[in-house]
Every structure is written in C-alpha cells, then in structure tokens.
A = this chain, B = another copy of it.
C-alpha cells in the first residue's frame, strides 16, 4: 500500500513470518546481510526491523541478532482504532450489523467534552448492533463531528464508516484514547442486546483523532460480558 522502502521490507518480512517461511524461534539474517539483500542502507533495514519489533513479530537482542517470536497477534475482537469490519475479517468472524439510529443532533455537555466541540457544532449519532450466531452481542453508539463527516447513509453505516472516511473523504484516522470498564446494564442495553441475563456490560470508550489531531469520533462499544475479549502486545517502556 505505502511505497516506503522500509515499510515494504517490513511487510515482506512480516509476510514471511506469517506464512512460516521464516520459522519461529529462529534468527533473522543480520542487519548487514539484510541491507545487502534488499539493496538498501542499514538504517532503513533498522526501521523495518523496529516496526517488526513494535508489532510483536521479532525480538532484537543486542550483539546476537533478531529472533522470530510466536505471539498470536491477530485475535483482538474489540472495536477500537481498527474498524469493526477489519477486525472481524482478520479474526475470521462473521458478524451482521444492524443500524438502529442514524440522525444529526446537537451535542449535550457530555459530548461537547468528549469531542471538544462547542454547543453550536452538530454531530451524527449512529447506533448499531453486531450480531453473531443469532445473538446481538455488541451495541456501538458512535458520534461523529458533522463538520468532518457531512454525509452519512444507512448503507455506509452498515458497511464500514472507516472505509468511507479514509477512502471517500480522504480523512486519516490517526490515533485514539481507549478506555475499558465494566458497568451496569442500561435499559438501552436491554432493548438492543440479547443480554442472556447478565446485569453488567463491558464498555469500551473511544475518542478517535485525525492526523491533524482533531477529534472526529466518540464511540461507546458495549460488549456482552461473555463475548468480550481484548488481546494486546505491549513492550515495557522503561
């Protein structure tokens, strides 16, 4: 996709690891060998290796080499910075999305704060449920700043809003603040979800930013307890 040299090297090696061509627990070629093999400088190779390291593919060990890790990375079915559709596809899960609400509204003080906008701005409200094996297990309540997202349709919301934002509107989703808590179910949860008798629900709150650091979206993803799972790879930062 991106045409960087280091990014394409990253993708190449990552693909080799995922396909098993590069075996787990074995050593990568040294940085010097890689720079020769890819016909590039060592610094560029290092950028690619750092990406692999950050994404949990390899571990670099000083004076020894880089070894391939075997951490299952692609199994975090929690919506967040990645669009729900992308995650579902990656995990190979089949979900059906139903749009329950889609309209423009004025933000209350809570939304004004979460989206850092004034009372005069307008926002889209989108309420969707995600259904799997006949059970509605996730309720997504999303709010988009209308200034950045002038038009939204039921079709877009049923497919992928992120694909629309990035593909059609040319907006770049860049980063997010994510918060996970467990809370008591609301009447809304009971209305829209098949709660299976649970009185609590996992709430994932997301404030999503564009690459110019503007807030574009606030979403509450409400997951049924037993269907929630979040997997992360984290490096120790000092």
Show the binding face of A for B, using Cβ within 8 Å. Answer: 1-2, 55-56, 59, 61, 64, 67, 69, 71-72, 80-82, 173-182, 198, 200, 202, 209, 211-213, 225-226, 228-238
Contact = CB atoms under 8 A, between A and B. Distances in A.
Nearest to A173: B236
Contact of A236 (B82, B202, B233, B235): B82
Given A55-B237, A236-B173, A236-B174, A180 B230 contact: yes
A140 to B, nearest CB: 17
Contact of A231 (B178, B226, B238): B178
A179 B178 CA distance: 15
A230 B179 contact: yes
Given A69-B213, A211-B59, A225-B200, A235 B175 contact: yes
Given A213-B67, A236-B175, A182 B182 contact: yes
A238 B180 contact: no
10 contacts: A55-B237, A56-B177, A59-B174, A81-B236, A175-B235, A178-B231, A180-B180, A181-B230, A182-B200, A182-B202
Contacts of A173: 236
- Closest 9 pairs between A and B when the two form their complex, measured CB to CB: A59-B213, A180-B230, A182-B225, A178-B232, A175-B235, A81-B234, A81-B236, A179-B231, A173-B236
Contacts of A82: 236-237
Contacts of A209: 59
A238 B173 CA distance: 9
B234 A182 contact: no
